A and B are shown apart, each in its own frame.
Chain A
Amino acid sequence: MNINSNLYTIGFACAMVVFVAALLASMSIRLTPYQDRNIELEKKQNILQSVGIDVERDSSEIPYSQFIKEELVLDMNGNILEGTAFNVDLAVELKKNIEDQRLPLYISILEDSSKCFIIPLRGKGLWGPIWGYIALKEDINTVFGAVFDHKGETPGLGAEINQSFFQEPFTDKKIFNEDNEFVSIMVKKGGAPEGSLHAVDAISGGTITSDGVTDMIKERVGRYIPYLEKNKPIEDDTTIIINLTSQIYE
């Protein structure tokens, strides 16, 4: 047979394409459950990390059910919708108009019975998506912890956002200023001013990824303001007065 005839060439190409497609498709179908499971466990691991609980990916299931008490889905006005946060895919939601977006929110109760609000983040880096989780303390102002990850930022530069030296400074930063305005947290090129409550150091050489983190936090956390305002704890002054009154009556 002449292997250089037109007929043979076309036949060979068709057979190859069909064979390769069938091979890859069947592999993909077989492996998808394992892959989905890894992604699910990693998501649980990341959520736990944002509230300071470090677990191996494979064993994130039990602590997750132990500490993450509520998985809410909100709309833009802070009303609670039906559904569970874990099943909301932010990548899909971000493509919708804000009126139609569903906002996932996790509430954790830690061992010392303190409460944290965990907001999932997603935004754009230099080469692709970046995402993460930021946990706010009960006062809905102070950051408890934050984790970030990325699809394909530059290794050694933007990719460093998933390292603890970048994430740790977020702890104890505040998202509202003294006048109670939402200012978010800025990742500042050239270093955050000493003692700043609203800025952390950026990564040298990773400016676009760092800016992406700033924008992502501002945009995502900003969407939750209506809900957070509704759930703010009673102002400190009132608490003091109540305490004082109760003391007087004792």
Chain B
Amino acid sequence: MSKNALFSKKNRSLLTDPLDDNNPVTVQVLGICSALAITVQLEPAIVMALSVLFVMSVANVVVSLMRRLIPSRIRIIVELVVIATLVILVDEVLKAFAYDVSKELTVFVGLIITNCIIMGRLEAFALANSPWESFLDGLGNAFGYGWILIVVAFFRELFGSGTLYGYPVLENLGIYDLGYENNGMMILPPMALITVGIIIWIQRMRNKKLIESN
């Protein structure tokens, strides 16, 4: 157990690093597949971000608690079982008590299980650190993943469908009367990659630390 205070400088950086300097999507380029699949609209992106937040932080804590018990030869399988169990639990509870959200989510359950960020954090962090630090690390990475997802979805929904969270923004602003048309390309997966690319570009313009020195 770490002797540091709960929110020591080191622990705070666990939470904030993944937002920018060590962002799982834009710096480590992980979890790209789900960023393509569910960012057509804001709502699924937000639901996905919240589900990943829950699964990642709890899985990190569970694996961290078991870290001295897990045989190293089957550790990947154990990690996968922990993630899959959590995802199924979440899905079952949602189906019973938040049916509409679960209908939105069911398609993406498989994607959460295969999300390489979660596996990556369990493998790289939770197996070697205390539960509290692992929890912070899980939260931080989930936020880092979530904000990228939401920003990408914001632009794709706005330019692709002219709506935000299902609300017809452009129609109400009267943009269509000026001859504007939705860009159908934004709905297609390649534009998610390009949007992520633009975010990476802007991030590297601001944050010189990220630029490799070759």
Residue of B nearest to A42 (CB): B99
Interface residues of A (CB under 8 A from B): 3-4, 8-9, 12-13, 16-17, 20, 23-24, 27-28, 31, 34-35, 38, 42, 57, 151-152, 155-157, 204-205
Q: Sorted from nearest, which 3 A-B pairs have the closest CB atoms?
A: A34-B96, A9-B71, A156-B40
Selected A-B contacts with CB under 8 Å, 30 pairs: A3-B68, A3-B70, A4-B71, A4-B73, A9-B71, A9-B74, A12-B70, A12-B71, A12-B74, A16-B78, A20-B81, A20-B85, A23-B89, A27-B89, A27-B92, A28-B92, A31-B95, A35-B99, A38-B95, A38-B99, A57-B100, A152-B106, A152-B107, A155-B38, A155-B40, A155-B41, A155-B44, A156-B41, A204-B184, A205-B187
CB–CB A156/B74 < 8 A: no
Instruction: Determine which residue in B41, B71, B97 has the highest number of CB atoms from chain A within 10 A of its CB, and name it.
Output: B71
| With A24-B92, A38-B99, A151-B106 already in contact, 4 other A-B pairs whose C-beta atoms are closer than 8 Å | A27-B92, A155-B38, A155-B107, A156-B161
CB–CB A24/B99 < 8 A: no
* Nearest CB of A to B99, in Å: 4
Interface residues of B (CB under 8 A from A): 38, 40-41, 44, 68-74, 77-78, 81, 85, 88-89, 92-93, 95-97, 99-100, 106-107, 160-161, 184, 187
* Nearest CB of A to B103, in Å: 9
* CB-defined contacts of A9 to chain B, threshold 8 Å: 71, 73-74
- Docked Cα-Cα span, A193 to B88, in Å, equals 46
- Docked Cα-Cα span, A56 to B65, in Å, equals 44
- Docked Cα-Cα span, A57 to B98, in Å, equals 12
CB–CB B93/A31 < 8 A: yes
* Nearest CB of B to A15, in Å: 10
- Docked Cα-Cα span, A27 to B86, in Å, equals 12
Where chain A touches its partner, the secondary structure class is helix
* CB-defined contacts of A156 to chain B, threshold 8 Å: 40-41, 160-161, 187
* Nearest CB of B to A151, in Å: 8
| Partner among A8, A16, A35 whose Cβ is within 8 Å of the Cβ of B96 | A35
- Docked Cα-Cα span, A4 to B70, in Å, equals 9
* CB-defined contacts of A31 to chain B, threshold 8 Å: 92-93, 95-96
- Docked Cα-Cα span, A80 to B74, in Å, equals 58
- Docked Cα-Cα span, A157 to B188, in Å, equals 10
* Nearest CB of A to B51, in Å: 16
* CB-defined contacts of B77 to chain A, threshold 8 Å: 13
* CB-defined contacts of A8 to chain B, threshold 8 Å: 71
- Docked Cα-Cα span, A183 to B93, in Å, equals 44
* CB-defined contacts of A16 to chain B, threshold 8 Å: 78, 81
* CB-defined contacts of B184 to chain A, threshold 8 Å: 204-205
* Nearest CB of A to B183, in Å: 13
CB–CB B71/A23 < 8 A: no
- Docked Cα-Cα span, A17 to B77, in Å, equals 11
CB–CB A3/B41 < 8 A: no
| Partner among A3, A23, A38 whose Cβ is within 8 Å of the Cβ of B85 | A23
CB–CB B38/A13 < 8 A: no
* CB-defined contacts of A34 to chain B, threshold 8 Å: 95-97
CB–CB A13/B89 < 8 A: no
* CB-defined contacts of A20 to chain B, threshold 8 Å: 81, 85
* Nearest CB of B to A1, in Å: 10
Residue of B nearest to A11 (CB): B71
* CB-defined contacts of B93 to chain A, threshold 8 Å: 27, 31
CB–CB B40/A24 < 8 A: no
- Docked Cα-Cα span, A5 to B38, in Å, equals 43
| Partner among B44, B88, B161 whose Cβ is within 8 Å of the Cβ of A24 | B88
